[in-house]
């Protein structure tokens, strides 16, 4: 069963998935953290591990149903094991970008639509549901792909105009499906996210849900690759049984790293969760001084998926840090809404937080490629640079897995700049330049039609959304 971070009313898996956001504006968390013994999964492949993790959280579906849906969902990935773990001299890189839109969001967003469709049927909900989601770049394309042609579900994606990479925008704006709509909003990601949250709270008469990681079924599939990584390292004898390891995560909305926190609570031997931010370092400041304050300049950086000042999933961490006291969570969220900040004495010693500048991001890409031939996207580079700083600061020799969230081909301009390669004004020409100079094969899915952009003024979005959804 699930409860809201802001209230104690319990709902089952189906209700939590279909609603997405709780009626009181809170996020759903499971009422009792399940435990899993990784030692019992040493011979399991990714799909089986995923089934066991999801079944632990959503047992109402039944193990066999979950296995079938996951197996079919991951059939579109271009490698057998869904993800892959690469080793460099100082860290392991968990590549999560081998899905249909080349980003880690695919891992959850090929599963969520299937669980939502099943949930609607179990709840005997026959009306059409509209998925409304905000994206800082990767969620949009992955959600559009995941919900394509799903019966009885429409999807609307909001993204910040001029706030995503050209490839991310091409993925979304060239997407064609009768049940999908993509809107560029004149504002930043936080504006898009706030619009979505306010729209949910103000339009309870509409059948709407979310594909962001605020939806618990978007979050839980991300827990899987933490277990998979540990089991993989153990099987290749890179670590010993029960050895503590670190996970280093490029972080914006705090969903991916919170999935790691859930994995730790479930029993996975995790030492540190390294929270890596870009210049929009609101999370770094929060973990280091106990104050969450979004009242600061917003920067557009070379890591657009992390250009966020309101990290929604942090609310789930607060809930556990406050001993599941939903009234205290409500107070903090009210303070955030009214003043833009709140104070919180951080009790979580498993987190380390720091940030990386744009210049250091480029240097990290260049250094690792020139020295070891491994090419990483800028978001992964932020995480890697923060890990190197952590290593220098602490001397912690624990094995560390860097979460590699996107293909470098999704951010060709950053790669070109970092490696001092010949420039081009065309993103797809830059992809060819990278492939030839770095000897890296271009993923076949990077083939888009003509993008068509629709731009809405921020102040008019909610009014227009209601008209579109009711139509």
Quote the CA–CA distance of 93 and 107 in Å, as a whole number.
Answer: 16
How many other β-carbons are positioned within 10 Å of the β-carbon of residue 161?
17
Enter the tokens of residue 19.
Answer: 């609603």
From the number of C-beta atoms within 10 Å of its C-beta (0-12, 13-18, 19+), residue 40 rates as exposed
Quote the CA–CA distance of 380 and 446 in Å, as a whole number.
Answer: 20
240 catalytic residue (yes or no): no
Q: Which of 105, 197, 264, 281 is catalytic?
A: 105
Measuring CA to CA, how many Å separate 249 from each of 127, 146, 294, 349, 469? 38, 24, 21, 16, 36
Quote the CA–CA distance of 456 and 468 in Å, as a whole number.
Answer: 13
How many other β-carbons are positioned within 10 Å of the β-carbon of residue 243?
14
Quote the CA–CA distance of 160 and 182 in Å, as a whole number.
Answer: 11
Q: Catalytic residue positions?
A: 105
């Amino acid at each position: 069963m699930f409860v809201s971070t802001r209230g104690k009313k319990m709902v089952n898996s189906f209700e939590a998935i279909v609603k997405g956001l709780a009626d009181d504006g809170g996020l759903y968390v499971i009422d009792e953290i399940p435990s899993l013994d990784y030692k019992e999964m040493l011979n399991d492949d990714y799909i089986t591990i995923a089934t066991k993790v999801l079944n632990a959280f959503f047992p109402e579906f039944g193990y066999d149903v979950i296995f079938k849906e996951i197996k079919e969902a991951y059939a579109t990935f271009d490698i057998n094991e869904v993800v892959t773990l690469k080793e460099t001299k100082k860290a392991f890189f968990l590549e999560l970008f081998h899905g249909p839109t080349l980003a880690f969001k695919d891992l959850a967003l090929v599963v969520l639509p299937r669980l939502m469709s099943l949930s609607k049927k179990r709840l005997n909900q026959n009306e059409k549901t509209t998925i409304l989601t905000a994206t800082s770049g990767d969620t949009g394309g992955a959600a559009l792909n995941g919900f394509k042609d799903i019966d009885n579900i429409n999807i609307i994606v909001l993204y910040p105009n001029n706030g995503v990479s050209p490839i991310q925008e091409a993925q979304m704006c060239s997407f064609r499906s009768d049940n999908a709509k993509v809107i560029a909003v004149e504002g930043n990601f936080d504006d898009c996210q706030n619009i979505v949250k306010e729209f949910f709270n103000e339009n309870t008469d509409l059948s709407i849900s979310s594909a962001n990681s605020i939806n618990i079924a978007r979050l839980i599939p991300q827990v899987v690759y933490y277990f998979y990584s540990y089991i993989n390292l153990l099987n290749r004898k890179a670590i010993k049984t029960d050895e503590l390891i670190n996970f280093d995560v490029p972080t914006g909305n705090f969903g991916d790293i919170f999935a790691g926190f859930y994995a730790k609570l479930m029993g996975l031997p995790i030492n540190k969760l390294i929270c890596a931010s870009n210049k929009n370092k609101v999370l770094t400041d929060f973990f280091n001084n106990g104050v969450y304050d979004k009242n600061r300049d917003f920067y557009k950086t070379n890591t657009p998926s992390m250009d966020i000042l309101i990290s929604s999933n942090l609310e789930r961490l607060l809930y556990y840090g406050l001993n599941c006291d939903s009234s205290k969570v409500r107070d903090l969220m009210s303070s955030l809404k009214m003043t833009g900040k709140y104070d919180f004495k951080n009790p979580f010693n498993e987190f380390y937080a720091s940030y990386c500048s744009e210049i250091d991001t480029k240097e990290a890409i260049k250094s690792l490629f020139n020295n070891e031939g491994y090419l990483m996207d800028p978001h992964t580079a932020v995480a890697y640079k923060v890990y190197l700083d952590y290593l220098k600061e602490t001397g912690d020799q624990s094995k560390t897995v860097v979460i590699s969230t996107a293909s470098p081909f999704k951010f060709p301009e950053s790669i070109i700049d970092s490696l001092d390669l010949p420039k081009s004004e065309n993103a797809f020409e830059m992809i060819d330049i990278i492939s030839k100079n770095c000897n890296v094969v271009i993923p076949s899915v990077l083939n888009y039609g003509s993008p068509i952009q629709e731009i809405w003024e921020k102040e008019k979005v909610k009014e227009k959304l209601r008209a579109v959804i009711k139509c």
